[in-house]
Amino acid sequence: MFKGKNVLVMVTGSIAAYKATTLVRLLIKSGAQVRVGMTTSAQEFITSKTLSILSGQDVLTDLFIGHTSQVIHIEWARWADVIFVVPATANIIGKIANGIADDAVSATIIASSADKVIAPAMNDVMFHNPAVERNLEILKQDGWLVVEPVVGYLAEGYEASGRLPEPIDILQQADIRLRAKKGQLIGKKVVITAGGTKEALDPVRYLTNRSSGKMGYALARAAVEKGAEVKLVTTIDRENIFGVEKIIVSSTQEMFDVATHEFTDADIFIGAAAVSDFKPAKLAEHKIKKQADGGLQLTLVQNPDILKTIGFSKKDHQIVVGFAAETKEVIAYGTDKLVKKHADMLITNDVSNSDTGFSSDDNAVTILVPDQLPEALPKTTKIEIARAIITRIITLK
Ligand code: PMT
């Protein structure tokens, strides 16, 4: 999102000002060109020299120093594609909400039509002051993206809301929400399954597979980036993704119960989980002991088929997408599953390659849609594959 973008980071006077250094580093690492502005009070907490060295640019601290021919705040305001105000004090929030432009930071902000992100950080009583709440409401109405503070240890020595989120989380949230502003899935609910189901043998052992959940998480992220409400039904508890509700399950039966329930009012279902077709016929009450003959006979019975059940229950407006993990004749087996599971789209991936499919950060897939030619997506990161799949799903109806 920020790659190639001109990003202005405005730092104001909070104890959390030091976190702006990490934000600047992360933005530069992601490929953005970064400039920094600081209020006078921000410079009480961190020096402009630090941020100047990190950004490789002079830091804007004063409207009238060092510049002759250019109106500096107008030039910077025009240059910016995105402005971050991190951390934001009650003072700067009040100024922006009320159109006050009496220093370099507020004057630049008011002169810019860039996308704007603000992350308040202050004492909890200040944060809940009616004037601050009112001003933040105005900023939201004016199109500002407000990254809410989190509950945590404040400088005052107690736990409360008002703490600045970690810079990586601010960036992730800003990235998702800025993309979602123009998303074609606003107002749509997407249910996604991820991870390998676990079928318990006894209280300590289970049968499962090598799925890491990465493909499902990438799809969840790609769907929220398009503005969807996303429910991720997953056996693996990986990173939190802003806007994605994780529902952690374990067995196929649990995944089946949650996924079919969530699908009733959903618009799209994507089955990226590696679901176990079988489960032990009986769950041992106690840990299974070694047998006298050294072996163990297991009887397995069939699990419900989540994708097939959802595929055959879908209504006209609902889209159902499955995956097929194959090791040979990928297209033929995938086409067979597309039909048998009554899906609108099936994504095949060859899981015999160690650098794609299970657990890896990359994948290479072929998209199958009834009556259309297969569409191969060559090897790339799972998030890029997921974005391409979501874009393709949007074209289905
Ligand atoms: O999680 P990762 O490590 O990132 O790996 C990603 C992945 C390889 C697991 C993923 O890309 C993938 O291929 N998922 C589907 C794996 C699978 O179970 O394929 P299958 O061919 O066995 O099943 C076909 C489809 O039916 C799948 O959508 C599956 O979720 C669904 N299914 C299968 C059996 C069953 N009882 N219920 C189901 O819903």
CA distance 277 to 305: 7
The chain-wide mean pLDDT, for the chain, equals 95
Look at ligand 1, atom 35, and give the residue with the nearest C-alpha: 305
User: For strand 6-11 and strand 82-88, is the pairing parallel, antiparallel, or unpaired?
Assistant: parallel
Contacts of residue 234, Cβ cutoff 8 Å, sequence gap at least 6: 193, 194, 195, 213, 216, 217, 246, 247, 248, 249, 273
pLDDT digits (tens, 9 = 90+) for 268-300: 999 999 999 999 999 999 999 988 777 888 999
**Range(s) within the chain of domains with CATH label 3.40.50.10300:** 189-396
Candidates 1.10.1740.10, 3.10.50.40, 3.40.50.1950, 1.10.760.10; CATH matching 6-180: 3.40.50.1950
Q: Is residue 348 in contact with ligand 1, taking CB distance under 6 Å? A: no
Highest mean pLDDT among 78-82, 151-155, 329-333: 78-82
In sign, the C-alpha dihedral spanning 326, 330, 336, 341 is positive
Q: Is residue 362 in contact with ligand 1, taking CB distance under 6 Å? A: no
**Range(s) within the chain of domains with CATH label 3.40.50.1950:** 6-180
What ligand 1 atom has the least distance to the C-alpha of 214?
Answer: 4
pLDDT digits (tens, 9 = 90+) for 305-357: 999 999 999 999 999 999 999 888 999 999 999 999 999 999 999 888 889 98
| pLDDT at residue number 69 | 59
CA distance 37 to 76: 10
Residue 63's pLDDT band, with cuts at 50, 70 and 90, is: confident
Residue 68 has pLDDT above 60, yes or no: no
Which fold does the domain 189-396 belong to in CATH? Rossmann fold (3.40.50)
pLDDT digits (tens, 9 = 90+) for 180-212: 998 999 999 999 999 999 999 999 999 999 999
Alpha carbon of 299 to ligand 1 centroid (Å): 23
pLDDT digits (tens, 9 = 90+) for 22-51: 999 999 999 999 999 999 999 999 999 999
CA distance 252 to 185: 28
Residue 84 has pLDDT above 80, yes or no: yes
| pLDDT at residue number 157 | 87
**Which amino acid makes up residue 47?**
T
